[in-house]
Structure 1
């Protein structure tokens, strides 16, 4: 399910961040990700959120 951004202008940046995280984890995200496992998608989502929280904490 696609996410809704609180700031729609940030969508491109968030997508780029997600793709960078997927590449670091060795998961190939494309326009169609139906062939990926739930574990692969979940690991990308979890790692993305983890990095966002770390970045936020550094900026406090």
Structure 2
């Protein structure tokens, strides 16, 4: 199991994940075993895309 480097970030990342999932129409809940890999991957990919964009804009 992966070690959480910044435990305080868990709540914020969870809210961010739910926001992105909602925008993409992916029904995230407490149990996500009924979702496809494509659905989960689209949420994760969009999260990374947005985080990279925000980082890039902050260093300009």
> Normalization by structure 2: what TM-score?
0.89
> For this pair of structures, how many residues does the alignment match?
59
Deviations 1:24-43 (A, max 9, x none): 10001000000000000000
What runs of 5+ residues in structure 2 fail to find an aligned partner? Answer: none
List runs of 5+ in structure 1 lacking aligned partners: none
Distance in 2 (CA, whole Å) between partners of 1:59 and 1:24 is 24
Distance 2:41 2:21 in 1: 10
Aligned counterparts of 1:4 and 1:21: Cα–Cα separation in 2: 24
> After the TM superposition, which segments of 4 or more aligned residues of structure 1 sit over 4 Å from their partners?
none
The answer on 1:54 being equivalent to 2:30 is no
- 1:39 and 2:28 equivalent? no
